[in-house]
Amino acid sequence: MTLETSASFEICPECGWEDDGQDDFNADKVLGGPNGLESLTAARERYAAYIAESADPDSVTRGGEGSWWSTAKLVIEDSGEKRPRQAE
């Protein structure tokens, strides 16, 4: 899945990565910020392993609205907070 623009701090509905401008040229570096202690390379590897092992019907790869987004909505609903709109 590819986000529309770079460095817009958009959150991927599938994996939860927040686009902080990190890209292929520095994908192995841990930049901190919204993605914590995970590099883009590590996040990609974690996601690839998850998809390979998962049959998650919420995954975009299986026609869902996104694994991370589906889980985030449940957490928000459980907390009673108003749900933010998903970027389209």
Asked whether residue 87 is domain-assigned, the answer is: no
What is the C-alpha separation between 61 and 39, in angstroms, rounded?
22
Predicted TM-score (pTM) of the model is 0.65
pLDDT in tens, 22-77: 888 999 999 988 999 999 999 999 888 888 788 888 888 788 888 888 888 888 88
> In this structure, is residue 17 part of a structural domain?
yes
DSSP letter assigned to residue 37: T
Domain range enclosing 46: 1-81
- Structural domain tally of the chain? 1
> Could you tell me if residue 77 is inside a domain?
yes
Is 7 among the domain residues? yes
Residue 6 inside a domain? The answer is: yes
Residue 86 covered by a domain: no
**53 inside domain:** yes
Tell me how far CA of residue 65 lies from CA of 9, 26, 49, 68, 73, in angstroms: 19, 29, 19, 9, 11
79 pLDDT exceeds 80? yes
Q: According to the model, what pLDDT value does residue 82 have?
A: 66
Residue 17 pLDDT > 90, yes or no? no
Mean pLDDT for 6-13 is: 81
The pLDDT assigned to 27 comes to 92
| Residue 87 near residue 10, CB atoms below 8 Å | yes
